[in-house]
Amino acid sequence: MTLSLPDRWIWDSWYVWEGELCHAFYLCASRGLGDPERRHRNVQIGHAVSRDLTSWTVLPDALTPSDQPGFDSWTTWTGSVVRHPRGEWWMFYTGTSREDNGQVQRIGAARSQDLMTWEKIPDLVVEADGQWYEKLSDQVWNDEAWRDPWVYFDDGDGAWHMLVTARSQSGLPDTRGAVGHAISQDLVKWEVTAPLSTSKTSFGHMEVFQWAEIDGVPVLIFCCGHRELGDEMRERFGNVDLSFSVACPGGLADIDFSQATPIPGDSLYAARAVQMPSGEWFVLGFHNQGPGGFVGELSDPVPVTASMKSGLVPR
């Protein structure tokens, strides 16, 4: 059964295992708002656990916006969770503030000993560097994109890497989607660097990145709403919000995004690949649009594998 709440909409989600329990963190907002578009500015980070990715137990919310002033005084948006070598858990997440009318996105962090109680780290804020990334002052887009941090440790260089939804400093407006990048040795001090890849095709932005090796195939997962697609991609895929994957045999540099293909799963957005302790991979996302409009519930897990040609494929 899907994770569907009678009083709340659910959308973007991210996952981490501790033993036999999978912890899901997700954006949620009261259905009492009436208009689902209002959810984006009235949001909490919810929390649920499962042993099988199907039956979920809802727990108390993980995070809510901070009091003013703060980089997250208006919203707490999408993120990811990793385990520090010392043992505690770190959640990196997106914030917007009332002080700048919510137009500038920044990334911060919270930490926890048990995945239940989270303490925000007040001095850890990472933001876009105008040397490489489009800023609000450039007046090209309606906000400053710097969100959805996907953090992982790379054994190859012994560093932590952060992939970020961002927009390049140059290019046509509907091709500026970029794989934003920051690097850290300790999860505290982050150096923002040039994009690892840029769209070069009709992706105005690419959001909710995930980098994973799935059955031996390195894959980048992301999504894009149809309003942010340029003409080329809209002709291929229509006016549908989609999650995509692209195989990356050469790593995250110079990805050919024209080879990106939709991820299996009917109407799933912000898809995440989740590996069971037994090794099998599944995709979960949120059901976006249905016959009655916005749905706002998490999907059942969709079994997947990956190929060098097509990225994620049904298993």
Binned at pLDDT 50, 70 and 90, residue 266 comes out as low
Q: Taking residues 124-128, what's their average pLDDT?
A: 97
224 neighbors 205 (Cβ within 8 angstroms)? yes
79 neighbors 71 (Cβ within 8 angstroms)? no
Q: Taking residues 155-165, what's their average pLDDT?
A: 97
Binned at pLDDT 50, 70 and 90, residue 1 comes out as low
Is the confidence at residue 154, as pLDDT, over 90?
yes
Retrieve residue 314's tokens. Answer: 């049904």
Q: What is the pLDDT of residue 173?
A: 87
Binned at pLDDT 50, 70 and 90, residue 149 comes out as very high
Quote the Cα angle for 215-219-223, to 5°: 130
Q: What is the pLDDT of residue 191?
A: 98
Rg (CA), the chain: 18
Q: What is the pLDDT of residue 231?
A: 82
Binned at pLDDT 50, 70 and 90, residue 238 comes out as confident
Name which of 91, 76, 174, 183 is nearest 129 in CA terms: 183
Q: SS3 of 156, please?
A: coil
Is the confidence at residue 76, as pLDDT, over 90?
yes
Looking from the CA of 8 toward its CB, the CA atoms found within 13 Å total 20
Strand-by-strand arrangement of the 75-83 sheet: 75-83, 89-96, 106-112, 119-126
Please state whether beta strands 293-298 and 302-307 pair in parallel, antiparallel, or not at all (unpaired): unpaired
Question: How much is the mean pLDDT over the chain?
Answer: 95
pTM of the predicted structure, to 2 decimals? 0.97
Q: Which range has the worst mean pLDDT, 9-13, 93-97, 114-118, 288-292?
A: 288-292
**Cα distance between residue 32 and residue 147, in whole Å:** 26
What domains lie within the chain, and their CATH numbers? 8-314 (2.115.10.20)
Question: Which residues sit opposite 272 in a β-bridge?
Answer: 284
Q: pLDDT for 49-63, tens place per residue?
A: 999 999 999 999 999
Q: Measuring CA to CA, how many Å separate 114 from each of 52, 66, 151, 170?
A: 20, 21, 19, 43
Single-letter code of the amino acid located at 134: E
Q: What is the pLDDT of residue 200?
A: 86
Binned at pLDDT 50, 70 and 90, residue 239 comes out as confident
Q: What is the pLDDT of residue 230?
A: 81
151 neighbors 161 (Cβ within 8 angstroms)? yes
Q: pLDDT for 244-253, tens place per residue?
A: 999 999 999 9
Q: pLDDT for 35-52, tens place per residue?
A: 999 999 999 999 999 999
Is the confidence at residue 216, as pLDDT, over 90?
yes
Q: How many helices (H) and strands (E) does the chain have?
A: 1, 21
